[in-house]
Chain A
Amino acid sequence: MSQPIIRIDNIVKRYGPLTVLDGLSMEVMPGEKLALIGPSGSGKTTILRILMTLETISEGFIQVEGEELYHVKKAGNLVPADERHLHKMREKIGMVFQHFNLFPHKCVLDNVTLAPMLTKGMARADAQKRAMELLDMVGLADKAKSMPAQLSGGQKQRVAIARALALSPKIMLFDEVTSALDPELVEEVLNVMRKLAAETDMTMLLVTHEMGFAHDFADRVLFFDRGKIVEEGKPEEIFRHPKQERTQTFLRKIIAAGHRV
């Protein structure tokens, strides 16, 4: 039996008086594809941001590949991690954002090559070769020299995916990567994700409101509500036979709102 690649142990996240994650624990196995679903404000984005070290945690521990994410051992004690430790841990993790967050002053190719060259010391030629493979994979090899402003939302998001992949992270986090897109552009991004899921053994955590996609994509679905995992299971179980009342209510609302399951 392999070890979990991510182990989240009883973490609490507070913003002032507001408790956003309330003693959350979960484990993710290497290569697993997880879908995180749940009502607005339930903490789905927050947990991804915490894994990407964009937030801090108020309590608890997270291990990635058996190593503490937010702590380092010093003289036998666990103390908050310094910048250097975070850099080391971030190598394992990549993230794709809802609003793409491309670098507007750099062309598509440079968006993809920048981080490998800076953080891994990759030679420009190597970085470009790899970037072109990735752009080809997301169907945008012909846009390599375009500026982000010249692309559609769907194209931007595919560039953002290629950019994150260029660092070859073991874990990829996707936060509602299609929800800022016009409906007709959603499918092209989802197709790229399907391809990724089928062709790589990356561990993937996906926050989504696309229940149909979550169903096809995920090995396991986690239903979040009020900062806790209320129910989890295989997609068939969660979508067809949800046990918890809150899950049932949520899915009923989603269906009523016109989403395909």
Chain B
Amino acid sequence: MIDWSGYIGLILQGAWVTVQLTLMGSALAVVVAFAAGLGRLSRFMAVRALATTYIEFFRGTSIFVQLFWAYFVLPFAGITLTPLQAGVLALGLNVGAYGAEVVRGAVKAIGREQREACIALNLTRFQAMRHIILPQALPLMLPTFGNNAIELLKGTAVVSLISLTDMTFQAQVVRAQTGSTLIPFATILLLYFAMAWLISMGMRWLERRVSRGLDGVRV
């Protein structure tokens, strides 16, 4: 008989790494998504070009390659990251590139009429963005942000390639040590699913909060 409790404990340790990667990666993704998404709408050419380059580059190359660069190549440039830092960086920048397009689309979806009202009321561009455009754009972004966060969660498994002991990595360890495939992989299946479900619930709660009073009605 195998004593499973120790092995399950191992998997739970991995789950914690996965949760950390997902939370920190998502936080970074949100920050860069707003920076690059708004950057693409800037009136300064250089800012637009920079944002576009970032987005196209990270959407055009695989997370796999990005992770290897973050972990194995950056040290040659004098930047040495821990596996966790490299994982967060690669996941955050990768998903952030997709998020940037979501931010841009949502901001553009808030019509010309709202912008013109802001000009007529003499708000600065920043004030208009902060008080009028973004609060209305946010509810439009959230559903896709939720999907992106789940994509990021699923993407965390690649970090086992740089020897980060996430949930998938630990499941493989358990499998190697016990010879059982079903139990470790059934466990992580359930855990991934539970995490994704939590993200969905959280996003739905957020959506309700930010769109309170809007009732889906445009004025």
B119 interface contact, C-beta 8 A: yes
Stretch at the interface among B120-128, B160-168, B177-185: B120-128
User: In whole angstroms, how far apart are the Cα atoms of A148 and B215 in the complex?
Assistant: 11
Residues of A close to B213: CB separation below 8 A: 105, 107, 147
Given contacts A99-B113, A100-B219, A149-B219, contact A105 B119 (CB under 8 A): no
Given contacts A119-B122, A147-B213, A148-B219, contact A103 B127 (CB under 8 A): no
Which A89-146 residues have C-beta < 8 A from chain B? 90-91, 93-95, 97, 99-105, 107, 114-115, 118-119
Q: Is the CB of B116 within 8 A of A114?
A: no
For residue A182, give the distance in angstroms from its CB to the closest CB of chain B: 16
Given contacts A90-B122, A114-B121, A148-B219, contact A104 B136 (CB under 8 A): yes
Q: Is the CB of B215 within 8 A of A149?
A: yes
Residues of A close to B132: CB separation below 8 A: 103
Q: Is the CB of B113 within 8 A of A95?
A: no
Give the number of chain A interface residues (Cβ < 8 Å). 30
Identify whether the interface residues of B are mostly helix, strand, loop, or mixed.
helix
A62 interface contact, C-beta 8 A: no
User: In whole angstroms, how far apart are the Cα atoms of A115 and B135 in the complex?
Assistant: 16
For residue A79, give the distance in angstroms from its CB to the closest CB of chain B: 18
B114 interface contact, C-beta 8 A: yes
B208 interface contact, C-beta 8 A: no
Given contacts A104-B136, A105-B214, contact A52 B119 (CB under 8 A): yes
Residues of A close to B113: CB separation below 8 A: 97, 99, 101
User: In whole angstroms, how far apart are the Cα atoms of A105 and B114 in the complex?
Assistant: 11
- For B217, the closest partner residue in chain A by CB is A149
User: In whole angstroms, how far apart are the Cα atoms of A42 and B26 in the complex?
Assistant: 52
Q: B119 contacts which of A53, A99, A103, A147 (Cβ < 8 Å)? A: A53
Q: Is the CB of A167 within 8 A of B121?
A: yes
User: In whole angstroms, how far apart are the Cα atoms of A167 and B117 in the complex?
Assistant: 13
A7 interface contact, C-beta 8 A: no
Q: Is the CB of B122 within 8 A of A104?
A: no
A87 interface contact, C-beta 8 A: yes
For residue B111, give the distance in angstroms from its CB to the closest CB of chain A: 9
A156 interface contact, C-beta 8 A: yes
Q: Is the CB of A102 within 8 A of B219?
A: yes
Residues of B close to A101: CB separation below 8 A: 113-114, 116-117, 120, 219
A221 interface contact, C-beta 8 A: no
For residue B69, give the distance in angstroms from its CB to the closest CB of chain A: 40
Q: Is the CB of A97 within 8 A of B123?
A: no
Q: Is the CB of A105 within 8 A of B122?
A: no
For residue B26, give the distance in angstroms from its CB to the closest CB of chain A: 25
For residue B167, give the distance in angstroms from its CB to the closest CB of chain A: 39
Residues of B close to A97: CB separation below 8 A: 113, 116-117, 120
User: In whole angstroms, how far apart are the Cα atoms of A97 and B119 in the complex?
Assistant: 12
User: In whole angstroms, how far apart are the Cα atoms of A152 and B120 in the complex?
Assistant: 23
User: In whole angstroms, how far apart are the Cα atoms of A90 and B120 in the complex?
Assistant: 7
For residue A72, give the distance in angstroms from its CB to the closest CB of chain B: 17
Q: Is the CB of A54 within 8 A of B116?
A: yes
User: In whole angstroms, how far apart are the Cα atoms of A79 and B91 in the complex?
Assistant: 48
Residues of A close to B215: CB separation below 8 A: 147, 149
User: In whole angstroms, how far apart are the Cα atoms of A58 and B117 in the complex?
Assistant: 23
Which B38-72 residues have C-beta < 8 A from chain A? none
Residues of B close to A87: CB separation below 8 A: 122, 124
- For A173, the closest partner residue in chain B by CB is B120
Q: Is the CB of A105 within 8 A of B136?
A: yes
B209 interface contact, C-beta 8 A: no
B108 interface contact, C-beta 8 A: no
Given contacts A100-B219, A105-B135, A156-B219, contact A118 B114 (CB under 8 A): no
User: In whole angstroms, how far apart are the Cα atoms of A177 and B218 in the complex?
Assistant: 18
Q: B117 contacts which of A91, A93, A103, A118 (Cβ < 8 Å)? A: A103
For residue A117, give the distance in angstroms from its CB to the closest CB of chain B: 10
User: In whole angstroms, how far apart are the Cα atoms of A115 and B214 in the complex?
Assistant: 20
Residues of B close to A91: CB separation below 8 A: 122
Q: Is the CB of B214 within 8 A of A94?
A: no
Q: A104 contacts which of B121, B124, B214 (Cβ < 8 Å)? A: B214
Residues of B close to A93: CB separation below 8 A: 120
- Known A54-B119, A90-B119, A90-B122; 8 more pairs at CB < 8 Å: A94-B121, A101-B117, A103-B117, A119-B123, A147-B213, A147-B215, A148-B219, A156-B219
7 A-B Cβ contacts within 8 A? Answer: A52-B119, A53-B119, A95-B120, A103-B136, A118-B123, A148-B219, A156-B219
